[in-house]
Structure 1
Amino acid sequence: MWNLPPSDTVLHVLSLVALAAQAMTAALAAGRRSMDWVGVCLLGCVTALGGGTIRDVLLGHYPLAWVQNPSYLALTAVAAFATILIARAVHRLSIAFLVLDAIGLVVFTMAGCDVARQLNESLPIVIVSGMITGCAGGVLRDILCNDIPLLFRAELYASVSIVTGLFYASAFGLKLNDEAWTALTFAVGLSFRLLAIRYKWEMPKFVFDDERR
């Protein structure tokens, strides 16, 4: 899907679950904005697939993941549409979706790093590719919903992606067990994100009031 190595079966399954979860959370956001059914499905697809699409376009990596595998597009659209039917039940599962979103952030970040590595990009590009894959879909969702993107708020989100990418990429070129390092990176990134949510860790805010000069 996001060009994960075939051996990473567990991460591949997690990424499918995360795709569906991101599409469903986007559908809930669309519902709060009173979008029609087409808008709900489109927002779900943009949110779930947007990060990987932007990454591939910037890196010149074709075909795009959802073009090569239309089933991913179908998965996100169906998940978003299903949310319309079970919205009240889904709304009560906010904690579960926070966990699934954290899983998606970590898995997509590693997948983005893998794509850039396969293209022999430099370390900074590898890290940025991971962050784009993990975060850009949510930015697009928030922009389309006329909200300030979560990425630009104080909450630790992009920071988690950067740390995950750095940790994951640190194994590149070293003779380490790929599966073990992938599992360790997943654990580190997921723990970091969940701890940030639990203890409300935030980045410093820049507050400027022009009237108080």
Structure 2
Amino acid sequence: MNVVLALDYVSALIFALSGALAASRAQLDIVGFAFLAGLTAVGGGTVRDLLLDRNPVFWIADPVPLLIAGAAALIVFFTAHLLESRKTVLVWLDALALPVAVAAGVRAATEMDQSLTIVILMGVTTGCFGGLLRDIVANEVPLLIRQNELYVTAALGGACAAVGAGLITSQPAVPMATCIAVSFALRAGSLAFGWSLPVYKPRPPRS
């Protein structure tokens, strides 16, 4: 199994669990659970593959991520009621999936010998689009644009860290591990300690 596929499997599982939890909050039926879990699981990787012209798209070449999403949806459908706070679990599952998906995007673009700019953008795209699609379909405020939280910044930081590590070592595992560690540290720090960037504040117009 290649590295990108392994990372896609892991991110698909965790993102699918978060998608199914979003479905439980929206009180959908079992088909809705499966749809939202699948959309979240493969959304970011699909956008990545389409932009990079990777043919076929990863889940068409290998439908295992869809099977993983279906299993996750089924499990959550029967167990979500046991969770004290489904929103909190959803947010932390997303925080776990984000860095893995970023690493998958970085690795996929690197294997295609893309420029450093495209490598970084593909990392951010793969990490962010699954959760964004989940939140839009579930009619939730996307985590990506919630105020005073690092989300895209966490993805960007991880992707940049992977590129930097790749420039100083030839060991392919090091950039991936660095990407996951930095991206998760930023996202978790934002959730646990309130890390954030300064936000724009409008000023009164000049008279």
* TM, length-normalised to structure 2: 0.85
Q: 2:108 aligns to what?
A: 115
Contact 2:161-2:178 within 8 A present in 1 as well: no
Say whether residues 1:159 and 2:158 are aligned partners. Answer: no
How far does residue 37 in structure 1 lie from its aligned partner after superposition? 1.6
Whole-Å separation in 2 of the counterparts to 1:120 and 1:99:
33
* Match for residue 176 of structure 2 among 182, 185, 205: 182
Q: 2:135 aligns to what?
A: 142
Q: How does 1:123-142 map to 2 (within 5 A)?
A: 123-142=116-135
Q: 1:47 aligns to what?
A: 40
Say whether residues 1:19 and 2:12 are aligned partners. Answer: yes
Contact 1:18-1:101 within 8 A present in 2 as well: no
Q: 2:23 aligns to what?
A: 30
Q: Deviations over 1:91-149 (max 9, x none)?
A: 55766655443231111101101111222222221111101100100110111122232
Structure 1 pair 90–118 and aligned structure 2 pair: CA distance change class (3 A)? same
Say whether residues 1:204 and 2:198 are aligned partners. Answer: yes
Cα RMSD (Å): 2.7
Q: How does 1:93-108 map to 2 (within 5 A)?
A: 98-108=91-101
* Letter in structure 2 aligned against 1:204: P
How far does residue 151 in structure 1 lie from its aligned partner after superposition? 1.1
How far does residue 180 in structure 1 lie from its aligned partner after superposition? 3.4
**Fraction of identical pairs, as percent:** 34
Whole-Å separation in 1 of the counterparts to 2:139 and 2:187:
25
Structure 1 pair 142–208 and aligned structure 2 pair: CA distance change class (3 A)? farther
> Would you say how many aligned residue pairs link Structure 1 and Structure 2?
204
Structure 1 pair 18–110 and aligned structure 2 pair: CA distance change class (3 A)? closer
Structure 1 pair 115–180 and aligned structure 2 pair: CA distance change class (3 A)? closer
How far does residue 42 in structure 1 lie from its aligned partner after superposition? 0.4
Structure 1 pair 48–207 and aligned structure 2 pair: CA distance change class (3 A)? farther
* Secondary structure at the counterpart of residue 159 of structure 2: helix
Say whether residues 1:81 and 2:74 are aligned partners. Answer: yes
How far does residue 188 in structure 1 lie from its aligned partner after superposition? 2.5
Contact 1:15-1:104 within 8 A present in 2 as well: no
Structure 1 pair 90–72 and aligned structure 2 pair: CA distance change class (3 A)? farther
Which residues of structure 1 form unaligned runs of 5+? 7-11
Whole-Å separation in 1 of the counterparts to 2:123 and 2:175:
16
Q: 1:9 aligns to what?
A: none
Contact 1:83-1:90 within 8 A present in 2 as well: no
Q: 2:188 aligns to what?
A: 194
Q: 2:163 aligns to what?
A: 169
* TM, length-normalised to structure 1: 0.83
Which residues of structure 2 form unaligned runs of 5+? none
